[in-house]
Structure 1
């Protein structure tokens, strides 16, 4: 059965986005305790492309399958997890790339939804916080996806979010956005 990508993020209501998030069946990584460790010989580049043993993985279905097994531990190391083993994976920046953003309203408050390079959706809020990193000269914005793994906002999505932050910034001190009832600063901590 061929893969049917979800519609454009801008075409979806918040309920449809939530339904797509809920429908995504993910392996129960938290329940697995593999005894063996190894090296996957894989790398995720900063632009979100996946490589194995130096060659790019060009099949989106393979990338989506591997991405469902991605986790990050307390030492900030990334792993591909199965019930029987966990394999290290080199990650240049973040495990995912956020490629699109839309703003919806829920109970009169803004909700930010992101589309990832794997065609998944993430709704920012307390469970999926936004994080500003870098410095004022080279800032970066991330959204938590799952299992400790983040998505870095690509350039256009970053620009959309900063523009929104400047619009929402009521006190004029620092750009910030609201999503899911939580305020997120867009300024990296010193």
Structure 2
């Protein structure tokens, strides 16, 4: 499970084991168990760059944004809501609600693990439950990381460059695809048609 509000020094210099432990120890509200009636619109919007707005004005308090991010949920129809045990409010999301702004890599080849930190403090290790895909959603190819409950993070351009450089230095993966392994799954960087190879697949 992703963790919100990591230590202020982020993940630079931390081992993947430390990051995994922090992620496992994270506690988030059980939004998936809350089913109040829909109460209307929140007047809030998450821009493509991850900035949160309320009534057209950016929310400048990072702690408040982090708090709101913990009660964000993606609905079955693809929409997003802010939910508590007693109310549910729609929120507009221009692209992905989160942005992955930092990445750490440990190991190589099929033994590699990739950890990411989002701009709201979630720590995520890419793997079978946290897919890393490159898709064109109407504005060019961009990489996305599954964070939790269908919520995704757009991988920031500098982090994408780091991933691309790592992939170029790796031997070809299954079916000769360019990509990276993380936590036992292979993530192909070949475009929107590429998919992950689950653990146990042969490496070429």
What TM-score results when the alignment is normalised by the length of structure 2? 0.84
Q: Distance in 2 between matches of 1:98 and 1:4?
A: 14
Query: Residue 9 of structure 1 aligns to a residue in which SS?
Result: coil
Q: Which residue number in structure 1 is paired with residue 163 of structure 2?
A: 161
Q: Which residue number in structure 2 is paired with residue 151 of structure 1?
A: 153
Contact 2:113/2:125 (<8 A) preserved: yes
Q: Which residue number in structure 2 is paired with residue 138 of structure 1?
A: 140
Q: Which residue number in structure 1 is paired with residue 74 of structure 2?
A: 72
Contact 1:162/1:175 (<8 A) preserved: no
Question: How far is 1:62 from its partner?
Answer: 0.4
Q: Which residue number in structure 1 is paired with residue 63 of structure 2?
A: 61
Contact 1:98/1:151 (<8 A) preserved: yes
Contact 2:127/2:183 (<8 A) preserved: yes
What TM-score results when the alignment is normalised by the length of structure 1? 0.90
Q: Distance in 2 between matches of 1:7 and 1:183?
A: 29
Q: Which residue number in structure 2 is paired with residue 175 of structure 1?
A: 178
Query: Residue 169 of structure 2 aligns to a residue in which SS?
Result: helix
* 1:186 alignment partner, one of 183, 186, 189: 189
1:32-83 CA distance string (max 9 Å, x none): 1112331111000111110000011000100000000111122210111111
Farther off after superposition, 166-175 or 44-53: 166-175
Question: How far is 1:4 from its partner?
Answer: 7.4
Question: How far is 1:173 from its partner?
Answer: 4.5
Q: Which residue number in structure 2 is paired with residue 17 of structure 1?
A: 19
Q: Distance in 1 between matches of 2:191 and 2:31?
A: 31
Q: Distance in 1 between matches of 2:71 and 2:151?
A: 11
Q: Distance in 1 between matches of 2:8 and 2:17?
A: 14
Q: Write 1 or 2 for the structure with the bigger share of strand.
A: 1
Contact 2:6/2:122 (<8 A) preserved: no
RMSD over equivalenced CA pairs, Å: 2.1
Q: Which runs of 4+ in 1 moved over 3 A?
A: 3-6, 171-174
Farther off after superposition, 72-81 or 49-58: 72-81
